[in-house]
Structure 1
Amino acid sequence: MSQKVLVAGTGKSGIAAAKLLLAMGGEVVLYDGNDKLDPEKIKENFEEDAKVTIVLGELTRPDLLGVELSIISPGIPLDAPFVPVLDEAKIPIWSEIQLAYHVAKGKLIAITGTNGKTTTTALTGAIMKTFFDEVFVVGNIGIPYTDVALDTTDKSVTVAEVSSFQLETIMDFHPNVSAILNITPDHLNRHGTMENYIEVKERVAVNQTEDDCIVLNYDDKVLREFGEKKDLKPKVIFFSSTQTLKEGMYLDGDMMIYAHDGKKEEVLNVKTDMQLLGKHNYENVMAAVAMSIRMGVPMESIRKAVKEFKAVEHRIEFVLERSGVRYYNDSKGTNPDAAIQAIRAMPGPTVLIAGGYDKHSEYDEWIEEFGDKVKYLVLIGQTRDKIAECARAHGFTDIMYAEDMAEAVRVCAAYANAGDNVLLSPACASWGMFDNYEQRGEIFKECVRNL
């Protein structure tokens, strides 16, 4: 990989990709469409003599002189203005995970889906660490795959959370074990249609062979049909929280069962052997257990890791209890379906903070989930009018607006009684008011602690 490569995007993924290319002896043209960025500030990410050229604003053909490949960061859509310039120059476009896969060694587990990716990835990584000496947990979970690619060896196991954005531009990306946890409407502002979104998610299996495995949600009609396709090459392991399966993972009451080879093996009790709340988390655990079994991890090691595992930060994360009110941070609930799962997981009456950036989502099913559980809805961000209008159309009128997170938390504290829960589960992306969902969650927790 010693050629000249264009890297589009100067965020975490772009910088990590550029550093990997430089470490392999390559030369980098680092591009960002934002011409207001400071080139000198960007250069601080690299050694003084690094072979990096910074291009900001418009990308032109002369900027591509000698460039043989381009790496596009996940946050950049394929209809960005500079992409036709690459196409005209016949320069291939790879995702950051494709670049990392091209360099990395060892076994790869790739986890995608609309919701539950971060929890499932973190848990699968924790299980792998009980059995394998070299485990890397990467992707949207916080560490770019390119950050660790050169550290992997033939003995490594890499567990990667991968998004639809990253799967758009893979070439020979080939996980040994993959999982699609669920597919519900999300990112339609980028993918255009559900059909496009589904097709991109299913690309996680496009290079898998008969020797590989994919774990799929049997209760998701799209994924059930995908898993039953005759031309799907990897072995399919289904999981279900509603159906008894002849083969696969399922729930029998509170007991998680692994059905295989004509046997039914009890894995664990989801109420007494887990620290995670909610049916969606039972599904996440089933997926992680199925992948771990496929990787050869002994059942006792799997049980131990699941019992010790706590909720991932920003995903129905318990913050504290004050004056009898319990506060939960679900900033990772960036779409209505994820936010539905958070409401279902709440143990009692709830005051809900929601709203944010508009991803062209519909909110009807989410609001219908409120029932008698959601007492008040406190709205922030770009979507607050759209959500309020939808809520009123469904007969929910206990709605308040807040200008920022601090005000939202103060309003919740004023209206919540002892025994209630306050839940941040926005059903929207964080952009506009916050840099990302992590920052939104941290600010929420800080506001709660400052009450």
Structure 2
Amino acid sequence: MKATDIIGKKVLVIGSGLSGVGSVRLLHQVGAVPILLEENTKVTEEDIRKKLHEEDRDTTQIIIGNIEDSVLDELSLTVPSPAVPLDAPTVMRIKEKNIPIWSEIELAYNFSKGKLVAITGTNGKTTTTTLVGDIMKAHFADTYVVGNIGVSYAENALKMTDDSVTTGEISSFQLEAVDNFHANVSAILNITPDHLNRHHTMECYASMKENVTNRQTKDDTCVLNYDNEYTRDFGNRCPAKVIFFSTKERLSDGFFLDGNEIFMSTAGNATRIMDIHDMNLVGLCNVENVMAAIAISLSMGVPLATILNVVRNFKAVEHRIEFVATKKGVDYYNDSKGTNPDAAIQGIRAMNRPTILIGGGYDKGSEYDEWIENFGGKVKLLVLIGQTKEKIAECAKKHGFTDYCFKDSFEEALKFCTESANEGDAVLLSPACASWDMFPNYETRGKKFKEYVNAL
């Protein structure tokens, strides 16, 4: 299906969040006729119209709840928001009618211009995307940072020109329905178990991540993590030119960490790039993010001196192993973005002192064994909250860790942590779970943590 095929035609957008609102805006601009479906019956039409751009409020048909077959029969395309699974009942009805389905990033790509960097992975996406976006801004005149980072790709697509450089944080949800989507440089930072309640199997989840290389050829580049089993294996069948990075292996080609220094190697000839102590970021996970960002940026033609200048001045992304404050000799860290066990492992590894850890939340079907195995004498107390607290406690007991307690609310957990912490300790919010059982998103959870700490 070509982008021009939707001009003058009815297109269903499912979901009234950021992606849905951005998709409606783009569809109106290109001459399509968007219909916005919001299946959450708790919201009103007035609520939805307020979220739309002013130009779209009076001209967009809005349906709340169920959609009739007679409406579906008039559609030329469907654009489900990332939160809408492709096996949801409404989407299955659409599939049965052979109506094409594009994700928001597919819709946006079809109307965008310029060069595209697409970054995915289970963990590290936001930090790496933000860093690469800053590097692109330092070298190119016309840049955009879009995607899962909180900026609608669709809303910005028509602003882009042939000279634009766009950096996108791309989630597995966004990669479920792509066709023409084609990045000049892509990256898969890692693949570890996550969102299995949505994708059901690791094989399906990994294949969605691999879709970031959709349409790539050997003229394009894909940056991959050599230390991750899934991404290392994918390097053997990746359609693009592969650049690996590693914190464990001295690579003959690619980027690697040796002691405290990052090296770039070509055909066995290694060149020192930088000392990791020159970075503001902490933790081995951020060394990986920096190596990936350097590889991506060099592939986009940015001079190394420009890249390193940005890296050295880059501060941690909010909610990702973010230092909040020291209160009465206790350091507080906000790692609310640690929404799965592998991400939360990185949070623990970044700690260098006895740590009181806040864990638990919405159950995405994760297992917590490896997370608990990484406590390694650092975690002196585990404070559990949310839907998964008993599941995590059982796993902890299985591994011989019994220094945990349950709290019924986030506020109760925070109060208990501050009362239990001694001078020289750290309090770390790194839940290994999503926030949706207690908060609308991880950002709200992290902000609540920071507000509490700063008010101490």
Whether 2:161 is the aligned partner of 1:156: answer no
The one of 28, 37, 46 equivalent to 2:34 is 28
Q: List structure 1 segments (4+ residues) > 6 angstroms apart after TM superposition.
A: none
Amino acid at match of 2:200: G
Deviations 1:199-233 (A, max 9, x none): 1111111310121000001111221121123xx32
Cα distance in 1 for partners of 2:395, 2:239 equals 43
Amino acid at match of 1:31: L
Amino acid at match of 2:249: Q
Q: Name the structure 2 match of 1:212.
A: 220
**1:210–1:235 contact (8 Å) kept in structure 2:** yes
Q: Report the TM-score when normalising by structure 1.
A: 0.97
Q: Name the structure 2 match of 1:6.
A: 12
Q: Name the structure 2 match of 1:399.
A: 404
Whether 2:377 is the aligned partner of 1:372: answer yes
Percent sequence identity over aligned pairs: 56
Cα distance in 2 for partners of 1:61, 1:101 equals 29
Q: Which moved more, 1:38-47 or 1:23-32?
A: 38-47
Cα distance in 2 for partners of 1:100, 1:347 equals 43
Whether 2:356 is the aligned partner of 1:348: answer no
What is the alpha-carbon root mean square deviation over aligned residues? Answer: 1.2
Q: Name the structure 1 match of 2:337.
A: 332
**1:59–1:85 contact (8 Å) kept in structure 2:** no
Whether 2:126 is the aligned partner of 1:98: answer no
Q: Name the structure 2 match of 1:138.
A: 146
Whether 2:284 is the aligned partner of 1:279: answer yes
Amino acid at match of 1:60: E
**1:60–1:85 contact (8 Å) kept in structure 2:** no
**1:22–1:50 contact (8 Å) kept in structure 2:** no
What is the SS of the residue equivalent to 1:256?
A: strand
Q: Give the 3 Å change call, closer, same or farther, for CA 48–281 of structure 1 in structure 2.
A: closer
Cα distance in 1 for partners of 2:455, 2:405 equals 21
Q: How many residues matched?
A: 448
Cα distance in 2 for partners of 1:49, 1:81 equals 27
Deviations 1:413-433 (A, max 9, x none): 111111110000000001020
Q: Name the structure 1 match of 2:265.
A: 259
Deviations 1:335-358 (A, max 9, x none): 000000100001211000011000
Q: Give the 3 Å change call, closer, same or farther, for CA 437–252 of structure 1 in structure 2.
A: same
Q: What is the deviation of 1:260?
A: 2.1
**2:356–2:379 contact (8 Å) kept in structure 1:** yes
Q: Name the structure 1 match of 2:3.
A: none
Q: Name the structure 2 match of 1:362.
A: 367
Whether 2:416 is the aligned partner of 1:411: answer yes
The one of 419, 431, 438 equivalent to 2:436 is 431
Q: Report the TM-score when normalising by structure 2.
A: 0.96
Q: Which moved more, 1:402-411 or 1:134-143?
A: 402-411
Q: Name the structure 2 match of 1:389.
A: 394
Cα distance in 2 for partners of 1:430, 1:253 equals 36
**2:28–2:56 contact (8 Å) kept in structure 1:** no
Amino acid at match of 1:366: W
Q: Name the structure 1 match of 2:180.
A: 172
Cα distance in 1 for partners of 2:160, 2:347 equals 36
**Following superposition of structure 1 onto structure 2, how do residues 30-45 of structure 1 map, counting pairs within 5 Å?**
30-44=36-50, 45=52
**2:283–2:349 contact (8 Å) kept in structure 1:** yes
Whether 2:95 is the aligned partner of 1:75: answer no
Q: Name the structure 1 match of 2:425.
A: 420
Cα distance in 2 for partners of 1:169, 1:233 equals 19
**1:405–1:447 contact (8 Å) kept in structure 2:** no
Q: What is the deviation of 1:84?
A: 2.2
Q: Name the structure 2 match of 1:111.
A: 119
Cα distance in 2 for partners of 1:113, 1:335 equals 12
**1:116–1:281 contact (8 Å) kept in structure 2:** yes
Q: What is the deviation of 1:20?
A: 1.2
